[in-house]
Amino acid sequence: MVKRRIAEILRSGQPDESLLIQGWVRTKRELKGFSFIEVNDGSSLASLQVVMNQDLPDYEANLKKLNTGASLEVTGVLVPSQGKGQRIELKAEMVKVYGEADPETYPLQKKRHSYEFLRTIGHLRSRTNSFGAVFRVRNACATAIHQFFQERGFLWVHTPIITASDCEGAGELFNVTGLNLKDIPRTENNAVDYAQDFFGRPTYLTVSGQLEAEVMAMAFSNVYTFGPTFRAENSNTSRHLAEFWMVEPEMAFCDLEGDMDLAEAFLKHVFKYVLETCPEDMEFFNQRIDNTVLETADNIINNEFQRLTYTEAISLLEKADVKFEYPVSWGLDLQSEHERYLAEQLFKKPVIVSDYPAKIKAFYMRLSDDEKTVRAMDILAPKIGEIIGGAQREERLDVLEKRIIAQGMQPEDLWWYLDLRRYGTVPHAGFGLGFERLVQFMTGMGNIRDVIPFPRTPQSAEF
């Protein structure tokens, strides 16, 4: 007997086909002489209706066991459905129950549950419609990302999770060894004099794979990373996780304009792919989560993003007739309320802000001729705020050394990174996309904890 996934049956199954399905009961409806069982196997939002006639072997005993959450296997024949809502249904010839789910204790019942409640049962929530849709869309986003870069000849490189460098210089590192750099002796050359043992020096969970991606870009021209990153920031917001996934392309022979062009084409591609491959899930989000989801996707795909400099953004914010909680002035970083005002209220589409003050940005960003700004860019999305952060990198050895020192870091600790500027340096640029923020943006989900299967936040790491 051919085993089939439910998504495929609903899409292309034909009457008289004999097949076998395996899945979990969503609902059961008992009628006189027969019953309907809605079976879901995670392949689609919609479930397949199974019709069980009372003349099936063990009909009564099986029916008693087939409550919401129970697992089963059905062998049968597809028949046109009489009811509305589905084209086809499965007439059961044999039903095997694998595992029961006691309705007295199983927490997922037919009613709608709040996301807060579902977060307390993280091991079961993926079985609901909402989380099914979120994780299928998450998978489609990841596929689209690989497709986009692979089609353009980018090499997927794997950068380390345990690292000795603080890429962002923001001090938001999870320390793996419990050692601190300032406590480790230095040699005459100002190198860290660590014990020969690997764990004799401070090491951290990576905040970004960028510096290592730069290493690889200097050999392969265009590369990207896609993996988990960690930030020990105590931000209890709906946009921050302690463990999140980041996509970081890095391109040799590329400037900031090329970087912005790539980022825009990239987001357009991912939205297009998801709309094409997950239409039911996207329709579900539009109906149930946020009724602007489809319009936003259409807007992203068909309209150019707004581009402006930080200096222009500040002057627009100063003129805004909105009372912001945080001050706006040249030299201060944009807060999420400012970012959202620009993207959500003023331009109503993604906004690329470039050329930020050097003082508020990381050491590796290329200093402009004005010596006040760096060639950085952030992409701000309506409802989310910053979704992408990127920059053209400082490729000049002397300028980079000065920037490292100015930020209180030791050039000797980044000797390998400086080597990239000593040997065959080129203008290069890249960016980092917060993968969960993209999934939030795509689905309209309000809380970042609900777009990753196992969220790590200051309060939650149950398993």
User: What is the Cα–Cα distance from 453 to 138, expressed in whole angstroms?
Assistant: 10
Q: How far is the CB of 169 from ligand 4AD (least distance, A)?
A: 10
Q: Please provide residue 149's backbone torsions phi and psi, each rounded to the nearest 5 degrees.
A: -75, -40
Query: Minimal distance in Å, beta carbon 463 to ligand 4AD?
Result: 20
DSSP 400: H
Query: Judged by CB under 5 A, does residue 444 bind Mg ion?
Result: no
Q: Which 289-328 positions form the footprint of Mg ion (CB under 5 A)?
A: none
Looking at the Cβ atoms of 28 and 437, the one nearer to ligand 4AD is: 437
| Residue bearing tokens 């849709």 | 133
Task: From the list Mg ion, ligand 4AD, none, pick the one residue 241 interacts with, judged by a Cβ distance below 5 to 8 Å according to partner type.
Answer: ligand 4AD
Q: CB of residue 388 vs ligand 4AD: minimum separation in angstroms?
A: 5
* Count of CA atoms in the C-beta half-sphere (13 A) of 31: 7
The structure tokens listed for 428 are: 């290069």
Task: Choose the contact partner of 457 out of ligand 4AD, Mg ion, none; CB within 5 to 8 A by kind.
Answer: none
Residues near ligand 4AD, by CB under 6 A: 167-168, 208, 210, 231, 233, 240-241, 244, 246, 248, 386-391, 430-432, 434, 436-437
**Nearer CB in complex with ligand 4AD: 66/205:** 205
> How many positions of this chain bind Mg ion (CB under 5 A)?
1
Q: Please report, as a single letter, which amino acid is at residue 332.
A: L
Judge contact between 157 and 224, C-beta under 8 A. Answer: yes
Shorter beta-carbon distance to Mg ion: residue 389 or 430: 389
> Which residue's Cβ lies closest to ligand 4AD?
434
User: Which residue, 180 or 236, is less far from ligand 4AD as judged by CB?
Assistant: 236
Cβ atoms within 10 A of the Cβ of 314, count? 19
Q: Which does 256 bind (CB under 5 to 8 A by kind): ligand 4AD, Mg ion, none?
A: none
Q: What's the rounded Cα separation, in Å, for the pair 437 and 150? A: 22
The mark string for 385-414 relative to Mg ion (x by CB under 5 A, - otherwise) is ----x-------------------------
* 108: its two tokens: 């997922």
| Nearest approach, Cβ of residue 237 and ligand 4AD (Å) | 9
CB-count exposure of residue 80 (10 Å: 0-12, 13-18, 19+): exposed
What is the Cα–Cα distance from 94 to 49, expressed in whole angstroms? 15
Strand 88-99 versus strand 48-53 pairing type: parallel
- Applying CB under 5 A, which residues contact Mg ion? 389
